[in-house]
Amino acid sequence: MKWYAVNTDACVCTLVNNNLDECLRVVADRRRRELIRQLRFESGGGVAFDDLFEALFRSESGTESERERIALQFWHVHLPRLEAYGVIEYDRESGVVQYRPDAVIEAVLDAVPEDASPKLS
């Protein structure tokens, strides 16, 4: 069994069985980091996917076809990855995304600047 510690001013998190690797895979994508940050600081009881996507897409500059492509990425790649990790709960019937606080994810995000990666199409 491997133990790792991630220290921040706000918390001390203990990671077991390489969960750090999975955490880093989850936050490796800029759009997933933006999605988590948006949910973390703005969702009390959950956010409708459409509203969440609109807030995130405003920071993108793109055409309608790029908008559709990015929406599909959120729908088929980013939301399932975040849900599998357990940092969100997504109700497909209501379209509501609920943030599930995760101390490890939060510690990593707090350590990474918001604009740490360039925007690529």
Break the chain into its structural domains and give their ranges.
Answer: 3-111
Give me the pLDDT at residue 116, please: 55
Give the pLDDT score at 15: 46
What pLDDT shows up at residue 63?
Answer: 79
Q: What is the DSSP letter of 67?
A: H
| Average pLDDT by stretches of 10, the chain with 121 residues | 40 50 92 91 81 82 82 92 94 92 91 65 40
Going by C-alpha positions, the residue among 50, 26, 25, 45 that lies closest to residue 36 is 26
**Which of the listed CATH numbers 1.20.1280.50, 2.40.40.20, 1.10.10.10, 1.10.760.10 matches domain 3-111?**
1.10.10.10
Say if residues 101 and 36 touch (Cβ distance below 8 Å): no
Question: Is this prediction's pTM over 0.85?
Answer: no
pLDDT of residue 117: 52
Q: Are 111 and 8 in contact (CB under 8 A)?
A: yes
